[in-house]
A and B are shown apart, each in its own frame.
Chain A
Amino acid sequence: MITIRELRKVYGPFVALESFSEEIQAGEIFGVIGQSGAGKSTLIRCVNRLETPTSGTVVVDGQDITALSGPDLRRARQRMGMIFQHFNLLSSRTAAGNIAFPLEVMGYSRLQRKARVEELLALVGLEGKGNNYPAQLSGGQKQRVGIARALAAKPKVLLSDEATSALDPQTTRSILDLLKDLNQKMGLTILLITHDMGVVKHICDRVAILEKGRVVERGRVADLAAQPHSRLAQDFFPQRSQQPLRSGSLRATIAFQGETANQPIISRLVRQFDIEVNILKGSIETIGGQSVGQLQLELSGAETEAALQYLYQQNIEVEVHDGSPAFEQLVDSHP
């Protein structure tokens, strides 16, 4: 649905975004996460050409956005919705007036607008709030108006620019649920940028992590979360145990997702091998609709090495943090 190729944007000597390429499928929720200044705002603004990229192409629903200008560009923008961190509602218009705004711009008649606005108010759960001015609405309600406005012209693509960053956690969750719901009901493709891992965890199918304009990690959210060494996993499962190790033991993190999460790995390990297993820390999260977990173990005993080999064979991600040099070697030599 959105094909981005070798997108690059520079401001004078400053490189905001460097060779970003991505193929975002129809009906997918794709997240771009990064700190402020990482280039994610630039990226999303290049997709609807609020910013013009220095080089590279963006193709949305078969149309090369980067080649357009004037009225063609404006029509292309009408086929994408966008929501914002600070909602950007017109204070001089009611909720209904705000939602009708894009329809007005597109030349819908008053009657058509009225019918569509009622539909949209119901869609975002704001029945009866049409006559309220933005100042009379809560943050969550304002963002619902923003979402209704973005969807007024029935776009296939929604761009979300830190849409929940100004909301409290509970409201954030309800807005994310609404977006997920719209994504599933209407097959809406969503490209969202955020600095909040919680957003990625809650609704994104795939994610790209941006740092200083470059992608440092990308992939399916559940897959990344199941790799102990990934940045995503480190963010989801923070604070490794810092207890001092007993001599002759090593500390390892194992990660599992989906099927493997349901298997009694630890008890098998202890039964099959002559080792001691001490669980230091563990948690399971629902990420990208899947159970993903991490366990931090302290392993000791004669067959520790064999036990690790067994885990590798079970296709379980293992990361050994510290231990004797022999174990480090084992990990390094492992394919």
Chain B
Amino acid sequence: MDPQLLSSLWTATLETIYMVSVSAVLAALFGLPLGLLLVIAAPKGFLPNPALYQGLGSVVNAGRSLPFIILLVAIIPLTRLIVGTTIGSTAALVPLTLSAIPFYARVAETSLLEVDRGLVEAAESMGCSYWQVIAKVLIPEAVPSLVLGLTIMVISLIGYSAMAGVVGGGGLGDLAIRYGYQRFNTQVMLITVVLLIVLVQIVQWVGDAIARQMRRR
């Protein structure tokens, strides 16, 4: 294989991993508290707050309904404000993170709601404050489910990162479009597709293994 092509594939793989991992970490970091807020402010939550719940819910839904390719270009001014540039892998981080936050907020909300009400009741019967219930019961008990949700999010992000080429973000998807599709290079197309599949498989396998390990308890 052409050494130049090999080096392009290597760079593209690293770019994809960079974009996906950084945006996944940031999305989890912002999405989890958002999901928690949705659970707390819900009509049957600890501190029901219909205005906050509705408002937050609408924002999350709006964020999720926007097609990623539109978001990518629509928020270019915001991207410039945050990372100081509008092109490259780093510029792609902002839209990737922004699209993944509402996704993970819903994942976290569902995971937290799945925690047995009886556990919350037991904790309250032992004199736990709301914060203790959240920190000692809700989150620890939801961890396996949160990990599985994270896996799903990372896999979606791998898919979204293929569109990063629009802002010069690079990555495997971009390589496939420019070389494989636009230059009719079937070999590149096949290799990138295989690499993407392998990447997704690895993520799924690791996520399942971690969640299984935790659930076995």
B125 at the A/B interface (Cβ < 8 Å)? Answer: yes
**CB under 8 Å from chain B, chain A span 293-330:** none
CA distance A129 to B116 in the complex (A): 24
B132 at the A/B interface (Cβ < 8 Å)? Answer: yes
Give the interface centre of B116, B126, B127, B214 by most chain A CB atoms within 10 Å. B126
Question: A90 and B119: CB pair below 8 A?
Answer: yes
Question: B125 and A105: CB pair below 8 A?
Answer: no
CA distance A133 to B137 in the complex (A): 15
A270 at the A/B interface (Cβ < 8 Å)? Answer: no
**CB under 8 Å from chain B, chain A span 72-113:** 74-78, 80, 82, 84, 86, 88, 90-93, 101-102, 104-106
Partner among A50, A74, A102, A135 whose Cβ is within 8 Å of the Cβ of B129: A74
CA distance A86 to B136 in the complex (A): 19
Question: A102 and B141: CB pair below 8 A?
Answer: no
Partner among A74, A80, A90 whose Cβ is within 8 Å of the Cβ of B140: A90
Expressed in whole angstroms, the minimum distance between the Cβ of B72 and any Cβ of chain A is 38
Task: Tell me which residues across on chain A come within 8 A of B128, comparing CB atoms.
Answer: 74, 105
B113 at the A/B interface (Cβ < 8 Å)? Answer: no
Question: B217 and A91: CB pair below 8 A?
Answer: yes
Question: A88 and B217: CB pair below 8 A?
Answer: no
Question: B125 and A86: CB pair below 8 A?
Answer: no
Give the interface centre of A75, A92, A93, A106 by most chain B CB atoms within 10 Å. A92
B137's nearest neighbour on chain A, judged by CB, is A90
Task: Tell me which residues across on chain A come within 8 A of B214, comparing CB atoms.
Answer: 92
Expressed in whole angstroms, the minimum distance between the Cβ of B68 and any Cβ of chain A is 35
Expressed in whole angstroms, the minimum distance between the Cβ of B132 and any Cβ of chain A is 6
Question: B140 and A88: CB pair below 8 A?
Answer: no
Partner among A91, A105, A134 whose Cβ is within 8 Å of the Cβ of B126: A105
CA distance A84 to B217 in the complex (A): 21
CA distance A101 to B217 in the complex (A): 17
**CB under 8 Å from chain A, chain B span 85-123:** 116, 118-119, 121-123
B56 at the A/B interface (Cβ < 8 Å)? Answer: no
Partner among A86, A106, A133, A149 whose Cβ is within 8 Å of the Cβ of B118: A86
Expressed in whole angstroms, the minimum distance between the Cβ of B31 and any Cβ of chain A is 21
Question: B127 and A135: CB pair below 8 A?
Answer: no
Identify whether the interface residues of B are mostly helix, strand, loop, or mixed.
Answer: helix
Question: A90 and B141: CB pair below 8 A?
Answer: yes
Expressed in whole angstroms, the minimum distance between the Cβ of B4 and any Cβ of chain A is 51
With an 8 Å Cβ cutoff, the count of chain B residues facing the other chain is: 21
Task: Tell me which residues across on chain B come within 8 A of A90, comparing CB atoms.
Answer: 119, 137, 140-141
Partner among A80, A91, A101, A136 whose Cβ is within 8 Å of the Cβ of B141: A91
Expressed in whole angstroms, the minimum distance between the Cβ of B139 and any Cβ of chain A is 9
CA distance A78 to B129 in the complex (A): 12
**CB under 8 Å from chain A, chain B span 117-171:** 118-119, 121-129, 132, 136-137, 140-141, 143
Expressed in whole angstroms, the minimum distance between the Cβ of B127 and any Cβ of chain A is 4
A48 at the A/B interface (Cβ < 8 Å)? Answer: yes
CA distance A101 to B129 in the complex (A): 13
**Chain A 141-178 against B: per-residue CB contact (8 Å), 1 yes, 0 no?**
00000000100010000010000000000000000000
With an 8 Å Cβ cutoff, the count of chain A residues facing the other chain is: 29
CA distance A43 to B194 in the complex (A): 63
Expressed in whole angstroms, the minimum distance between the Cβ of B155 and any Cβ of chain A is 25
Task: Tell me which residues across on chain B come within 8 A of A82, comparing CB atoms.
Answer: 122, 125-126
B117's nearest neighbour on chain A, judged by CB, is A88
A153's nearest neighbour on chain B, judged by CB, is B126
A94's nearest neighbour on chain B, judged by CB, is B217
CA distance A78 to B124 in the complex (A): 9
Question: B140 and A102: CB pair below 8 A?
Answer: no
Expressed in whole angstroms, the minimum distance between the Cβ of B17 and any Cβ of chain A is 30
CA distance A74 to B128 in the complex (A): 7
Question: A105 and B132: CB pair below 8 A?
Answer: yes
Expressed in whole angstroms, the minimum distance between the Cβ of A101 and any Cβ of chain B is 7
Task: Tell me which residues across on chain A come within 8 A of B122, comparing CB atoms.
Answer: 82, 84, 88
Partner among A78, A86, A93, A159 whose Cβ is within 8 Å of the Cβ of B127: A78
CA distance A135 to B216 in the complex (A): 8
Chain B: residues with CB nearer than 8 A to chain A?
116, 118-119, 121-129, 132, 136-137, 140-141, 143, 214, 216-217
Give the top 10 A-B pairs by smallest Cβ distance, nearest first. Answer: A88-B122, A133-B217, A78-B127, A74-B127, A77-B127, A82-B125, A102-B126, A88-B118, A92-B140, A88-B119
5 A-B contact pairs sorted by A residue (CB < 8 Å): A71-B129, A78-B126, A92-B140, A101-B123, A101-B136
Excluding A82-B122, A105-B126, A136-B217, 11 further A-B contacts by CB distance (< 8 Å) are A48-B125, A74-B128, A77-B126, A78-B126, A84-B121, A88-B119, A88-B122, A91-B141, A92-B217, A104-B136, A105-B127
Chain A: residues with CB nearer than 8 A to chain B?
48, 50, 71, 74-78, 80, 82, 84, 86, 88, 90-93, 101-102, 104-106, 133-136, 149, 153, 159
